[in-house]
Amino acid sequence: MTNRHPSDPRGDRPDLLDPIELDALGGLELIARAVVKGFISGLHSSPSRGFSVEFAEHRAYRPGDDLRFVDWKMYGRSDRFFVKQYEQETNLVAQLCLDASASMDWRSRENDLLTKLDYAKRLTASLTLLLIRQGDLAGLLCFAERVMARVTPRGTLDHWAELVRSLAAQKPGRLSAAPEALAELASRGARRGLIVLVSDLLVDEEPTLRALKKLRHQGHEVLVFHLLDPGELELPGVGDALFIEPETGEELAARSGELRAEYRDAVQAALERWQRACGAQSIDYHPITTDRPLALCLGQYLHKRARLG
């Protein structure tokens, strides 16, 4: 654990910690509770500027206020948080789709990085708790080569505890059947809501994009967190290396130094393809490396929620 200066604000903000440091807090449920508590306290610490007296039914957000009464439209306009005293937001139904395929069970540095799957579990547990804390309904769909776990969307803390237990028990599978998992959601004919895909996107791109497009055409809002290990962005400058595809087991011997520039270009091209394809369907797309604090992901979600009203 890194020693922190007493004035370091991250001492009271677990959501700003290096993800590997969060392990010191305990299990998945304790981590998520601490992250969400820190994130909400950070919202309150922002100065409430730009408040207009004409909104007599609003007041500034205070610690402990029920997030169900936050005016998300006003947040979208002012980037500040105010509470509706007489009006409650309509519940949003959110479905978190977690990729648990073999490629997610990887990290480039054993001692100071989480696997992509462990990072995804912490993100999903924190995000579903934030959803429920603000009065929305949260469900879970975990998949690898098939759908491996389903938790129906509900809005109670007991339900969230069940969801976290399902997350904690999830083991990595093999191949990623992202298109089939997303198609299952589309086939349910559920009321319009929010679909959040958490994946490293080492998937069949075209079928996955078609499935996401179908969900958008059904009226769902879609948010994609593209998880990347920092080691995936750049090949190490070593000599001979054996590259192994985690989901198929295929092997390729090569000199990594000779491939570094070509590899870097290929990664950048892939990120740009996902960005363009998602943007064309009004899908929020956010690449995030697993060494970044969870607050960044939660902040992206809140901006999305604010636009939904």
Domain that holds residue 67: 9-84
Instruction: Let me know if residue 1 belongs to a domain.
Output: no
Q: Cα–chain-centroid distance for residue 127?
A: 7
Give the largest CA-CA distance in the chain. 68
Q: Among candidates 295, 302, 304, 296, which has minimal Cα distance to 32?
A: 295
Q: How many CB atoms lie within 10 A of CB 264?
A: 13
Q: Where a domain ends, among 66, 84, 102?
A: 84
The pLDDT assigned to 240 comes to: 61
Q: Is the pLDDT of residue 255 over 70?
A: no
Q: Are residues 56 and 149 in the same domain?
A: no
DSSP-assigned letter for residue 292: S
Q: Are residues 77 and 194 in the same domain?
A: no
Rounded to the nearest 10 degrees, the angle between the axes of helix 294-308 and helix 28-45 is: 60
Q: Are residues 147 and 287 in the same domain?
A: yes
Instruction: Let me know if residue 3 belongs to a domain.
Output: no
Q: Is the whole model's pTM more than 0.85, yes or no?
A: no
Q: Are residues 177 and 72 in the same domain?
A: no
Which tops the pLDDT comparison, 81 or 195? 195
The pLDDT assigned to 52 comes to: 28
Q: Are residues 156 and 295 in the same domain?
A: yes
The full DSSP string for 204-252 is -HHHHHHHHHHHHHTT-EEEEEEEE-GGGSS--S-SEEEEE-TTT--EE
Instruction: Let me know if residue 164 belongs to a domain.
Output: yes
Contact 243, 260 (CB under 8 A): no
The pLDDT assigned to 62 comes to: 74
Q: Where a domain ends, among 67, 84, 101?
A: 84
Which tops the pLDDT comparison, 139 or 52? 139
Q: Are residues 116 and 210 in the same domain?
A: yes
Q: How many CB atoms lie within 10 A of CB 205?
A: 15
User: What's the average model confidence in pLDDT over 283-287?
Assistant: 97
Instruction: Let me know if residue 4 belongs to a domain.
Output: no
Q: CATH no. for residue 146?
A: 3.40.50.410
Instruction: Let me know if residue 2 belongs to a domain.
Output: no
Q: Which residues contact 149 (CB under 8 A, 6 or more apart)?
A: 140, 141, 142, 166, 169, 170
Q: Among candidates 185, 178, 12, 27, which has minimal Cα distance to 103?
A: 178
Residue 188: in which H helix or E strand, if any?
Answer: none
Question: First vs last Cα of the chain: how many Å apart?
Answer: 40
Q: Are residues 175 and 296 in the same domain?
A: yes
User: What's the average model confidence in pLDDT over 74-88?
Assistant: 68
Q: Are residues 146 and 269 in the same domain?
A: yes
User: What's the average model confidence in pLDDT over 266-286?
Assistant: 96
Residue 151: in which H helix or E strand, if any?
Answer: strand 147-154
Q: Cα–chain-centroid distance for residue 33?
A: 16
Q: Are residues 42 and 153 in the same domain?
A: no
Which tops the pLDDT comparison, 208 or 236? 208
For residue 224, what are the β-bridge partners? 197, 285
Q: Are residues 143 and 210 in the same domain?
A: yes
The band of 199, judged by pLDDT with boundaries at 50, 70 and 90, is very high
Q: Are residues 18 and 129 in the same domain?
A: no
Average pLDDT of the chain, as a whole number: 85
Q: Are residues 183 and 289 in the same domain?
A: yes
Which tops the pLDDT comparison, 64 or 113? 113
Q: Where a domain ends, among 38, 58, 84?
A: 84
What is the tally of structural domains in the chain?
2
Instruction: Let me know if residue 292 belongs to a domain.
Output: yes
